[in-house]
Amino acid sequence: MTTAPGGAPADGTAYGNPADRRVTGPATRVRRTAGSVALAALAAFALLTTVVAVRHGSPLPPDASLLSWAVGHRPGPAVATARAVTSTGTDVAPYALAALAGVVAGRTARQRLLAAALALLCLGAGQGLRRAVLYAVGRSRPPAADWATHASDWSFPSGHATTAALTTALLVTAVLLRSPPGRRARLLALAAPLVCWGVTVGLTRVYLGVHWFSDVVGGWLFATAWYATCVWAAARLLPALPGRPATP
């Protein structure tokens, strides 16, 4: 066999069996990235959960100081604003936004219906898993005397923080899928307010005194791990998008 400069065969083929070569397409890259993020976030969440459990739910060092600051800085307008923001992280609103994300992400009626159903499944199943952790850990909330809004159930991980983070991820993904190539500035302009909303909902739980800060961090980590897992599964199981080659 003759070779071209650089050692490649002159006929343009590569050494080895071409069938053994794997093509790295968009879906493969998404799977690898999502898988790595899921594992990293899950490891961090497992570590935090272990620390909370070993301490029998007692507040971590930053928790008490942040709660004390929040209780001491509660002018009426700020509390009213925090209550309004925190209300968007529960009940119907997040599910409506998740369905909207699916509608935005799809390009045809069938794609929109499927994407909306998957978005709702991601959010609903994530909440189911979170509640399983919630009851397994059984962490008490901060003292009721410090509450500035109604709360119930156990504390870790925060349901509002989890829900808002998952909803934010779904909305940002929808914007990313529908943004024209090369419009990164436009994407950032649309995504930044969504991310700010997701983070702020979690922080209001600490400000209103119904969660420790570590509860909120736990919610964010859980949401990251679960959403990355959903993205990995979607890239693995769903067929390739029309016009794109299937990847192994």
- The Cα 165–Cα 26 span in angstroms is 25
Torsion angle of C-alpha atoms 237, 240, 246, 248, degrees rounded to 10: -20
Cβ atoms of 159 and 216 within 8 Å: the answer is no
- Whether the pLDDT of residue 21 is over 90: the answer is no
pLDDT of 15: 45
| Every domain of the chain and the residues it spans | 30-57+92-237
pLDDT of 178: 82
Residue 112: exposure state from Cβ atoms within 10 A (0-12, 13-18, ≥19): middle
Estimate to the nearest angstrom the gap between the alpha carbon of 15 and the chain centroid. 42
Q: Helix 184-207 and helix 76-87: axis angle, to 10°?
A: 120
Least confident of 38-47, 58-67, 82-91, 175-184: 175-184
Kindly report, residue by residue over 78-92, the tens digit of the pLDDT. Answer: 999 999 999 999 999
Q: Which of 193, 150, 188 is nearest to 168 (CA)?
A: 193
**What percent of the chain clears pLDDT 70, i.e. is strictly above it?**
85
Confidence of residue 70 (pLDDT cuts 50, 70, 90): very high
- The Cα 190–Cα 179 span in angstroms is 10
Q: Helix 61-72 and helix 184-207: axis angle, to 10°?
A: 80
Q: What is the mean pLDDT of residues 194-207?
A: 97
Return the higher-pLDDT residue of 95 and 31: 95
Is the pTM of the predicted complex or chain greater than 0.95?
A: no
Return the higher-pLDDT residue of 68 and 10: 68
Torsional sign, CA 62, 65, 223, 191: negative
Q: Which of 67, 232, 88 is nearest to 163 (CA)?
A: 88
Confidence of residue 185 (pLDDT cuts 50, 70, 90): confident
Cβ atoms of 161 and 220 within 8 Å: the answer is yes
Q: Which of 184, 205, 183, 192 is nearest to 89 (CA)?
A: 205
User: Is residue 5 classed as helix, strand or coil in its secondary structure?
Assistant: coil
Residues 6+ apart with CB under 8 A from 202: 89, 158, 160, 161, 164, 165, 216, 219, 220
